[in-house]
Structure 1
């Protein structure tokens, strides 16, 4: 009833504001709710007790070593002298932690107080959170203080958590009695209900490991929407939706979740038809007002991929008005010379592409615009709507010719971006994926990159996905396999249970938020090796 009331209010408000989606919005939100999955719940028990140790060779300088079985917690009093015990569940989990306390001696004549800190990686538990220097809310960090007045007691932390480790610290209790733990468990949640088929028997072990960790990452992020990160930000972003849906197609095949997310984003679009970059589900579905240019384009690509994979033309036609409307962005910034006005776009939009300071976005914007136009026209043909966008081929041709003329450096064989003629991995990737580069030019540019010390490398797995996709598109199969093995395999070798939001092999403490513990160490956009490994078995499973 709350959701229905909200949708009615939204509909009335949008009509009053001349909402371009007024005829569709209520139906889209109803369909989004219809495809909301029932989460699968699994109770997880701890693996054992571990202790944190400094190790310069370990990820972020910390590792865990075994400190015994759970009897070290369950069969001993918990007091000031035993504070700081770390429980290891042996895997990354998303869900709810419950623990039970018991009296061991005498009467409880005062409340007891505990602090629990939940960590995805060991360094989170070893790094003081305060004074907090981060740029995001301190409340994202997963530490909770619990006060208990009566024993025995079973306490469930009300906040949903994402972690492998739980550090338990004593903050206070009466010296006249003793208490202890009798149980601690985790109720893990996901919308995933199947196990993907095994890879080919001859698949290299590192590829199997990368696929396993990537699948775990995707599973943890597949809740009632495709979340970007179950620890933080815990919402639906278009860019993550696109990459998660690709990996899902070749693993868990939960097409209903993709459908839900597409409808939810459409139903929460702005009145002028332009999409918001992300959406929340609670207390009722609503968008965070954030216009992110490249993500608007990727909605079209995600919808095209969904229709292609499922044959669900009905949904494609239902959401076609949204895809068609996003093309206004290209028309808005395309100049008479065929070049996108990237400087104006950056003044008026959030233009993302990568967590990389200093990345010049002229080439990525030109490339993704061409790519989105091509993909939207392919979608139009699938839906029988190409007559509505008959101008796309001519616009695309003009943008491609202008890009090649203005951005390709024949002398060096790479594409250069902006007034400083920057060379970047992302820039080359988008020139390849957009079809601006010929196959020969694509191979030369991508092979040249490693020899250029000033070339701007990807800042996160998000951009690294597009780089690998470009390698495959250009026919550099061995290089694509090596890139996946080195980059995502590097995280595996450093102990990753799930793949991280940000990974720079040269800087393990890199954070867009000025404090690495607030990074997400299970992040949706990092799951795409699952897509590559399973879509291209001839490259990765041999």
Structure 2
């Protein structure tokens, strides 16, 4: 929850940023004066910490909850930890004395103007005038956090923090200056009360009933009606003996007790009472087997969720597409917890490639900045960098792309600036792993993933990695410009141009009219795969002729191995949308995502191959039920329908400028909302009528029409080839008559 102060600040920031006069320090000073003028007392306080530390700590708690058949299953990459000793400080200028309450998680001392209070005070008095408060906290087990509550003396993100204050005392007893200390603005979330200790955070839950409960010869089978996530609750459990709960995303998995991926085995010894399992899990079905002396009356669950509200929406005349959108929404929500995770049954880890897709879906559905920032910080971890993120080369590169996308969709320059040092050290690691040709090639310890695809070669320097590498370097140049590091801008721009040049010199095959897959032993291979080709289209690395040739020689060519994961179908469909082939994409969505629905899916899967049948669909990783039937990367229609059908995308940070290019893709009509930092852009589109209302920035409508569109609210410009453009002003209703091609 945001405070009144934070709401005012964010609202004014959005207004002023579009006028190019926003500076954070000036704005906060202005708000302080404004509050004083109004005679308002008290400022918003929140728990604060060293930026990124709580996110890393919380991700460690979450990712180490995974079990497989009762066995603890930890991540296999380096886990970082929080700094155990943190110094917090801020200078206040008070017109009157203040009594200040201090809450701390850890051992601590408090200093006022460099002089320590005795003990660890819970309340101090700060005299009128200009004073510096320091609170130093030690906590090895949990993140050092503080909550300071006075009238004007409150803890918020304007406090400065460091993990090394570099103080020492000379022979005279004088404290050294701290000019070499690197201070950071404190991190925070929404823990705005003194009793909301961040270390005690848990996701909310709500009770849900089972759809059906059936007794069998050897136990009880419970069906909750759809894929879900949470804690099984046994009502009026009593007796003495053993009880086992076997979880299944499918009925087959739940009843196949020798092969279920997860279970709980409980020793019961109680007279009577309700029992809730300790760890939340994914399931639709559960099978419960109990000793004869153990009984219970009913089975229900506590559904665990992240409390994010939908802001975006999509609806059209095609009920199958509507159903696909709704199931994509549900899949996204199930896979959004404290962070954006991969899937809810098996890993429940933060994978960078999966998270990158969740960011994009998020911008068109919940538009929640907090989850993006937490996930970004948790994935990056701390220096020194000793391996790729999740050990995967391409996942490191996706991380860079995610940082800049966040800035584009949110306009939050402060977060991007605060991460620039982390970006530089991560990129230094990447640059240090180039081969003699200046290309990225898997070295020992590097996992080149790309996709789950049988027979996909990872040898040599793979073109797909070079493509992501070039875009990551371009991202570094853009962010360097944002933080005004001009030398870095030049360096990263040159490096990006060099990689991009090599990409086409080495991998472009004129005969095949495609980018070939790899470069091995100094020679490009003849193998063509879809990956680099489709990314090159929506990265806009190709001219129109190359794009059209790739569409026919690769994307519509059945001889090129097909993609069977929603993970890469996402990008394949994006490439086709970028080519204006929404009608083709509509058919593919109905075939691929609709194909899962026809098999009874209630959330979208990690992998779907229409050639499989029956229980074959549940197998993966050499295990009968290894596949996740609820996977974040299955929810991509949220993004595709928002960006390429409603056609809304930012071109300036935080939607200061944006484009709208609606495409029905064979639909008769569609309507929806696309969230921005200032509110929702609303759109209705049929084959003859278009209605738009936007609360922010300056938009450019690009509309294809057989004849000149008619609009009382503005004047269209004819761009040729049946394309017309109209400037969209904020808070203005547009009603446009046109004739779709």
TM-score by length of 2: 0.57
Which residue in 2 is equivalent to 1:488? Answer: 593
Whole-angstrom distance in 1 between the partners of 2:191 and 2:487: 32
Displacement of 1:196 in angstroms is 4.0
1:522 aligns with 2:630: yes
1:123 aligns with 2:252: yes
Whole-angstrom distance in 1 between the partners of 2:449 and 2:498: 24
> Which secondary structure does the structure 1 equivalent of 2:512 belong to?
coil
Whether contact under 8 Å (2:513, 2:550) holds in the other structure is yes
From the CA coordinates, give the structure whose radius of gyration is larger: 2
Greater shift after overlay, 462-471 or 426-435? Answer: 426-435
Q: Which has the higher strand share?
A: 2
Match of 2:463 among 341, 360, 363: 363
1:90 aligns with 2:225: yes
Whether contact under 8 Å (1:504, 1:510) holds in the other structure is no
The verdict on how the C-alpha distance between 1:151 and 1:510 changes in structure 2, with shifts beyond 3 A counting, is closer
Whole-angstrom distance in 2 between the partners of 1:236 and 1:34: 23
The verdict on how the C-alpha distance between 1:450 and 1:301 changes in structure 2, with shifts beyond 3 A counting, is closer
> Which secondary structure does the structure 1 equivalent of 2:391 belong to?
coil
1:253 aligns with 2:253: no
Greater shift after overlay, 241-250 or 161-170? Answer: 161-170
1:8 aligns with 2:94: no
The verdict on how the C-alpha distance between 1:373 and 1:485 changes in structure 2, with shifts beyond 3 A counting, is farther
Whether contact under 8 Å (2:387, 2:445) holds in the other structure is no
> Which secondary structure does the structure 2 equivalent of 1:8 belong to?
coil
Whole-angstrom distance in 2 between the partners of 1:523 and 1:390: 40
Which residue in 2 is equivalent to 1:340? Answer: 439
Whole-angstrom distance in 1 between the partners of 2:501 and 2:218: 66
Whole-angstrom distance in 1 between the partners of 2:297 and 2:275: 12
Which residue in 2 is equivalent to 1:55? Answer: none
Match of 2:416 among 316, 319, 325: 316
Whole-angstrom distance in 1 between the partners of 2:574 and 2:298: 47
Which residue in 2 is equivalent to 1:187? Answer: 302
Whole-angstrom distance in 2 between the partners of 1:24 and 1:520: 44
Whether contact under 8 Å (1:503, 1:510) holds in the other structure is no
Which residue in 1 is equivalent to 2:72? Answer: none
TM-score by length of 1: 0.77
| Residue correspondence of structure 1 range 104-503 to structure 2 within 5 A | 111-130=240-259, 141-170=261-290, 172-174=291-293, 180-200=295-315, 202-266=316-380, 268-272=381-385, 277=389, 290-329=390-429, 331-334=431-434, 340-342=439-441, 345-361=442-458, 362-385=462-485, 387-418=487-518, 419=520, 420-449=525-554, 452-503=557-608
Whole-angstrom distance in 2 between the partners of 1:264 and 1:451: 39
Whole-angstrom distance in 2 between the partners of 1:121 and 1:391: 52
Whole-angstrom distance in 2 between the partners of 1:486 and 1:366: 32
> Structure with the greater relative contact order (CA < 8 A, sep ≥ 6): 1 or 2?
1
Listed as ranges, the gaps of 5+ residues in structure 1 are: 17-21, 50-71, 74-80, 131-137, 278-289
1:170-217, Cα deviation, whole Å (9 max, x unpaired): 4x325xxxx7532221111111332344423x3422221121111111
Whole-angstrom distance in 2 between the partners of 1:276 and 1:34: 32
Listed as ranges, the gaps of 5+ residues in structure 2 are: 1-48, 58-80, 87-137, 141-161, 165-179, 193-197, 647-661, 670-741
Displacement of 1:450 in angstroms is 5.7
> Which secondary structure does the structure 2 equivalent of 1:390 belong to?
helix
How many residues align? The count is 469
> Which secondary structure does the structure 2 equivalent of 1:7 belong to?
coil
Whole-angstrom distance in 1 between the partners of 2:182 and 2:573: 37
The verdict on how the C-alpha distance between 1:42 and 1:26 changes in structure 2, with shifts beyond 3 A counting, is farther
The verdict on how the C-alpha distance between 1:372 and 1:534 changes in structure 2, with shifts beyond 3 A counting, is same
